[in-house]
């Protein structure tokens, strides 16, 4: 029974396209996150939602738009994809917005831009 699940696992698409990544958690957590991991494994926080409210919004191009329809789901829509968007995107969740709470990660979505 997967705790944090992301779909799709792999996404290969052309530059300029629009795509979405979905995330769901069944842990009953209040807080969810999107991270971007580059080819050197560096992890960068993009967004965080607590009970459907945006609480972390790092410096990310406005082509990236998160949406949280309820506290168990956090989706990421990306417009006009660029070569530099190629990365692994991780969704995570934690019990609350306090950052001492352990975070539970999905297995990632590997996005490749052709």
Q: Which of 74, 94, 92 is closest to 29 using CA atoms? A: 94
**Is the peptide bond preceding residue 8 cis, with omega within 30 degrees of 0?**
yes
CB of 80 to other proteins, least distance (A): 26
Closer Cβ to other proteins, 17 or 44, answer by number? 44
Q: Give the DSSP H or E segment for 4.
A: strand 4-7
CB of 3 to other proteins, least distance (A): 10
Q: Which residues bind other proteins (CB under 8 A)?
A: 4, 40-43, 45, 48, 50, 55-56, 58, 90, 92, 96-100, 102-108
């Amino acid at each position: 029974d997967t705790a944090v699940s992301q779909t799709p696992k792999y996404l290969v698409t052309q530059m300029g396209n629009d795509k979405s990544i979905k995330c769901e958690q069944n842990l009953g957590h209040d807080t969810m996150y999107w991270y971007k991991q580059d080819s050197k494994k560096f992890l960068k926080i993009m967004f965080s939602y607590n009970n459907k409210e945006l609480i972390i919004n790092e410096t990310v191009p406005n082509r990236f738009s998160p949406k949280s329809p309820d506290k168990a789901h956090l989706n990421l829509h990306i417009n006009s994809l660029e070569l530099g968007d190629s990365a692994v995107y991780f969704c995570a969740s934690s019990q609350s917005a306090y950052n001492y709470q352990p975070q539970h990660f999905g297995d990632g979505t590997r996005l490749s831009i052709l």
